[in-house]
Structure 1
């Protein structure tokens, strides 16, 4: 996410970042707007990554119209367009803050490249933080208006500082090297509650899971899940990793 009136600094960073992420098979989600959004979509396509545009109007039109060819290429290359608005809905300015909550909710991490302290990207970052998603911001010069929003997010701990693809992958726990499964001694888990056993079984199956996936896979409430994980961590049976990821301590 980012400003419509980007700088060369923001453009070059976005293109480099997505090129470096190409090997990891991520999906890029943005808003199909002018500026950083369009740069991200185009860089994703160039790097062979699927990319999804969340729009603030019906799918019977493309806004801005200049991005019609870009939208078509996104669809042809395995990405697509997403909207909650009925066909015939105009691209009203009030629709775009609404669509930002979809971007924030469907992405594992929200990246803010360039923005002032007011704007759609700041709304998306605040929504993502409220959804317990990871938020990252590209730092910039304190004198640059287009970096004021990013610097604000970092300064007040609303976002982690974004430096490069490697740092991002490590923070999200996406660079965890696959390990051979080890047989965990059953006696270690003899005194666990049913909730704790459920968490252990899920981590045995997939080794590393994000807190959102643990919640999605289980029948537990979010508070019960948090309590079970905390008890497992205190028992040194589960390890907490960067990016709200968890794995068994084997």
Structure 2
């Protein structure tokens, strides 16, 4: 909001109240450049069971759901799984494996539900929001010290602008979990990039 970007809040209660009450000033600012959205009638309290229902609206209206931090049972994971089910993009920031507050994000990335991002530039590229940026033509090159399954994926991606995850699954013969972990390793090495719609290309 500080940058003048329209912001919409999904509420788990009626429009006649704001929860928590300390966020009233934020709600007023949103009404000036965005809005407040709810399916609950006035008089509805912010009951705990309302928020998972609210999450499906948040997931549905968003181009991409970004999870910054979440443990394995975090409420934001509900939104992430809903967004994935709606074929919306999901992104997550990775964290230390010893940090329980990042366990949910790490699981989303490891299971290939979320694309790994580490900053705003990654999000812009994931969503193709860099309109003025043109991808360089991929040149065939030799990669050393790659595992056989990694080399399979590289060989396929070098022949096309982008390849869907399902096509990689069939062409490589790798199992679903092995493919997801291999794609993650290649992305962490900076060799490939995740695109909208579960497509991949050379970095």
Asked if residue 109 in structure 1 is aligned to residue 70 in structure 2, the reply is no
Q: Secondary structure at the match of 1:127?
A: helix
**Which of these residues, 2, 19, 25, is aligned with residue 63 of structure 1?**
19
Deviation at 1:89, TM superposition (A): 0.7
Aligned to 1:126: 81
Tell me the number of residue pairs that the alignment of Structure 1 and Structure 2 aligns.
139
Contact persistence 2:87–2:197 (CA under 8 A):
no
Shift of residue 87 of structure 1? 0.6
Q: Considering only aligned residues, what root-mean-square deviation do their CA atoms show, in Å?
A: 1.8
Gap regions ≥5 residues in structure 2: 135-193, 199-203
Say which structure is richer in helix: 1
Query: Which residue matches 2:119?
Result: 164
CA distance in 1, matches of 2:65, 2:100: 20
Mapped partners of 2:30, 2:121: distance in 1 = 25
Shift in alpha-carbon separation, 1:242–1:73, aligned structure 2, 3 A: same
> Deviation of residue 80 (structure 1)?
1.3
Runs (4+) of structure 1 moved beyond 3 Å? none
In the TM superposition, residue 178 of structure 1 has moved relative to its aligned partner by: 8.8
SS in 2 for 1:46: coil
Secondary structure at 1:244's aligned position in 2?
coil
Counterpart among 40, 53, 74 of residue 9 in structure 2: 53
Q: 2:40 pairs with 70, 79, 85, which one?
A: 85
Q: Deviations over 1:6-49 (max 9, x none)?
A: xxxxxxxxxxxxxxxxxxxxxxxxxxxxxxxxxxxxxxx11221
Question: Given the alignment of the two structures, is residue 173 of structure 1 paired with residue 128 of structure 2, yes or no?
Answer: yes
Contact 1:172 1:244 in 2 (8 A): no
Gaps in structure 1 of 5+ consecutive residues: 1-44, 180-240, 246-250
Residue 195 of structure 2 aligns with which residue?
242
**Rounded Cα–Cα distance in structure 2 between residues aligned with 1:163 and 1:114:** 12
Normalising by structure 1, what TM-score?
Answer: 0.53
